[in-house]
A = this chain, B = another copy of it.
Amino acid sequence: MSAASRFVRLILGEYGERAELVEERPWERRPEFLALNPAATLPILTEDSGPAIVGGMVIAEYLDETRGAFQREKRLLAEKALERAEIRRLTEWFLVKLDGEATRYLVRERVFKLEMRPEDGGGSPDASAIRAARANLKHHMRYVGWLAESRNWLSGPKLSYADLAAASAFSILDYLGEISWEKEPAAKEWYTRVKSRPSFRPFLTERIRGIPPVAHYAELDF
C-alpha cells in the first residue's frame, strides 16, 4: 500500500530484475529500520550488502544510472535533459503531491489504522480526512485525464517513470474502490495499458489482510 514502493517494483519488473521484498510497518519504528532510514519512510533498496538507497525517486535515479542507461529503447527516463525534467516533474507529482493530498490519507485511514495499535495512531477512520482526500483526488483524476488525452503516455510518446509512478498510486486507490473510471475515459484507457504489462501482474494477485479489493480490481477489461 505504498505507492513509492510499488513504483520501484514496477521499475525493477520493467528491467527484468528480481528483488526480495521485505514487509515493513514504518509506524512500528523498528531500530533496524530506523538505522537504514532515520526518516522512517519507504521504500528502501539494498543491493548486495551495500548501503541503503532511500526514497522512491532516489532509487529510480539510481536504477536509471545502474540499469536504465543500458536499456536503449526500454529506458524509462529519456535521454534529453528537458524530457528528463518533464518525466521527473510528473513522477514527483504522483509520488509527492498526489500522495500528500490523497493516497496517503486514504491508505492511512482505511488500511493502516486497522493494523496500528492505539498508541501508534490506530483507531477508527477520520471521516473528514477521507472526505478531503476524496475531494483532492477528483482534481488529480482530471489532470491524469487531460495528460492521457493530450499524450500517448503521460509524459510523452514513450512509457516512462511518470506512468509507473501514476499507476502505482492508482493501483492502490483502485484496490480501495476510490476511482470513478467512467468519468475519465482517456485515463481509463491509459490505466488499462499499464495494467496489462507483465510488470504490473504481481499487484493484481496481492491482497491486503481483511480488505478485499473492489470487484473489477484484477480485471484487465473493467
Flag whether A120 is at the interface (Cβ < 8 A).
Answer: no
Contact A55 B143 (CB under 8 A): no
Contact A55 B88 (CB under 8 A): yes
Query: Which of B39, B55, B88, B100 touches A58 (beta carbons < 8 Å)?
Result: B88
Query: Which of B38, B50, B53 touches A143 (beta carbons < 8 Å)?
Result: B38
Flag whether A66 is at the interface (Cβ < 8 A).
Answer: yes
Flag whether A28 is at the interface (Cβ < 8 A).
Answer: no
Residues of B near A54 (CB, < 8 A) are 85, 89
Residues of B near A82 (CB, < 8 A) are 50-51, 53, 62
Identify which of A16-24, A91-99, A124-132 touches chain B: A91-99
Contact A58 B143 (CB under 8 A): no
- Integer count of this chain's copies in the complex: 2
| A-side interface size class | 20 to 34
Residues of B near A55 (CB, < 8 A) are 88-89, 92
Q: Which of A58, A85, A93, A96 has the most CB of B within 10 A?
A: A85
Flag whether A110 is at the interface (Cβ < 8 A).
Answer: no
Flag whether A189 is at the interface (Cβ < 8 A).
Answer: no
Contact A51 B86 (CB under 8 A): yes
Per the 8 Å Cβ criterion, residues 55-73 of A in contact with B are: 55, 57-59, 61-62, 65-66
Contact B57 A92 (CB under 8 A): yes
Report the bound CA distance from A54 to B90 in whole Å.
10
Q: How far is the CB of A141 from chain B (nearest CB, A)?
A: 14
Query: Which of B58, B93, B96 touches A89 (beta carbons < 8 Å)?
Result: B58
| Selected A-B contacts with CB under 8 Å, 22 pairs | A39-B93, A39-B97, A50-B82, A51-B82, A51-B85, A51-B86, A53-B82, A53-B85, A53-B89, A55-B88, A55-B92, A57-B88, A58-B85, A58-B88, A58-B89, A61-B84, A61-B88, A62-B82, A62-B84, A65-B81, A65-B84, A66-B81
